[in-house]
Amino acid sequence: MTVNVGVLGASGYTGAELLRLCAQHPDFTLRLATADSHVGTRAADLYPSLAVAYPDLVFVEPDPAAADDLDLVFLALPHGASQHLVPDLRKRVGHIVDLAADFRLKDAALYPAWYGEEHTAPEVLAEFAFGIPELFRADLRGAPLVAAAGCYVTAASLALAPLVRAGVIEPTGVIVDAASGVSGAGRTLKHNTHFGTANEDFTAYGLLNHRHTPEIEQATGAQVLFTPHLAPMTRGILATCYARPVAGTGAPDPLAVLRDFYADEPFVVVSDASPSTKATYGSNAAHLTARYDERTGWVVVIAALDNLVKGASGQAVQCANLALGLPETAGLPVVGVYP
């Protein structure tokens, strides 16, 4: 099967990661790669790592008409851009997978509250399948429109959703502390991601009002206090989540719940060992563990993943495979790069 693919926003980190994954996908053929700020630039000049796969690929100006007759389009655009394109683009292509937050939230009223502006295409929100395959696989099979979940939401949701669904933890008062590598902020030059700023530093941000909070709550069914942190590393997410067990259920075994829930999942590793971001580097895998502390009465769940692969572009490809009826693991690395 040949799937003709376009990547809109291909010059950013998630776009470049999509190009890498498309190059090794047995069914994908890249036909279009657009970029706002690097029109006319060779992909191999901006990202020499892509030179072997794409020696002659040149980024072109975004134009929805250029996507006519493509089977699949990935949108790797800044938040707010996709909602202006999708109403027209959906008439031109078979499947769309959006990596931004534009269509993740089902309630349009949440966008002005968390993103500061009204949604411009609220009538389309209900048509998007939410993209975490391990949790919402049935919705993704054959879906023409997919909103792939981001890195923080994926890590927290993979950790917490099975325990909420099993009735092991209380769905209120859940705490999520998560740290991300600087690539999670994108390629745009920012003071807080300069080497001299981020190196040898560890900071929390988005206190009490980070915009991914409602996505975590939607995906897990829990009320969460989410605090993101910036860590001095290139890739990776480490999420440490705390919750109270449901009263009257006795001493829970959250690790057993996770093992059972993810027993047949190709990209999830549940282990006694504490997860490491380095172990997931470059792969589409997520590593999890969990404990119940009888002394304090807390359940702790930890998840690690690569924010650009399982937390973004790899997850988007995994969702696309399901939407297109391809093997879910096609083109996706299961082994990380180490050391």
Residues tagged active-site: 151
Query: Cα separation of 149 and 139, whole Å?
Result: 14
Q: Using CA atoms, how far apart are residues 307 and 250, in angstroms rounded to an integer? A: 35
What are the DSSP E strand ranges found in the chain?
Answer: 3-8, 28-34, 72-75, 95-98, 129-131, 145-148, 174-180, 203-204, 224-230, 237-243, 268-270, 286-293, 298-305
Distance CA 308, CA 234 (A): 10
Beta strands 145-148 and 129-131, pairing class: parallel
Asked if residue 29 lies in contact with residue 23, where contact means CB atoms within 8 angstroms, the answer is: no
> CA–CA separation, 295 vs 316, rounded Å?
41
Alpha carbons 88 and 64: distance in angstroms, whole number: 7
Contact 79, 99 (CB under 8 A): no
